[in-house]
Amino acid sequence: MRRKDLTFFRKLLTRRLEELLMEAEKTKNTVKAAEESSSDPMDQASNQLERDFLLRLRDRESKLMVKIKEALERIEDGTFGECEECGEEISLKRLRARPMATLCIHCKHEQEALEKKNGVEKPTKLSPLWSPA
Ligand SMILES: [Zn+2]
């Protein structure tokens, strides 16, 4: 991959990681605030719901952060944009849409077909641009 493209993806991923870190910090504070607020049982119930939601969100965020960090590591060690399965280059078009992709479109399709056959459940849908696949 050309240096120019690598720089583009490094910037893109770094920025997204920073955003996620900020969001994670916000989530943490909100959970804390929910825990410390009102002792009213009704409030507590709704706080519990909110807290569960936020914890799930945080879980998803941290998984995404791991993916982004891995992609950044691949940029550093020069394997970014190579398919893990067949070693072919992943197209720039695909990487722009999914910067954390580790499979080329062919291997991805094969994997999906296999998952479908085996009935593997799809992970919760994220916005298309940032789903971990
Ligand atoms: Zn491949």
How many residues appear in the chain? Answer: 133
Q: What percent of the chain has pLDDT over 90?
A: 55
Fold of 3-118: Four Helix Bundle (Hemerythrin (Met), subunit A) (1.20.120)
Question: Residue ranges of the domains in the chain?
Answer: 3-118
Residue 38 confidence class, pLDDT cut points 50, 70, 90:
low
Q: How many angstroms separate the alpha carbon of residue 110 from the centre of ligand 1? A: 9
CA angle, residues 128, 49, 45, in degrees to nearest 5: 170
Q: How many angstroms separate the alpha carbon of residue 95 from the centre of ligand 1? A: 13
Q: How many angstroms separate the alpha carbon of residue 83 from the centre of ligand 1? A: 5
Interval 2-16: pLDDT, tens: 899 999 999 999 999
Which distant-in-sequence residues (6+ apart) come within 8 Å of 94 by Cβ? 101, 104, 105
Q: What integer pLDDT is reported at residue 28 of this predicted model?
A: 81
Interval 76-119: pLDDT, tens: 999 999 999 999 999 999 999 999 999 999 999 999 999 998 88
Q: Rounded to two decimals, what is the model's pTM?
A: 0.73
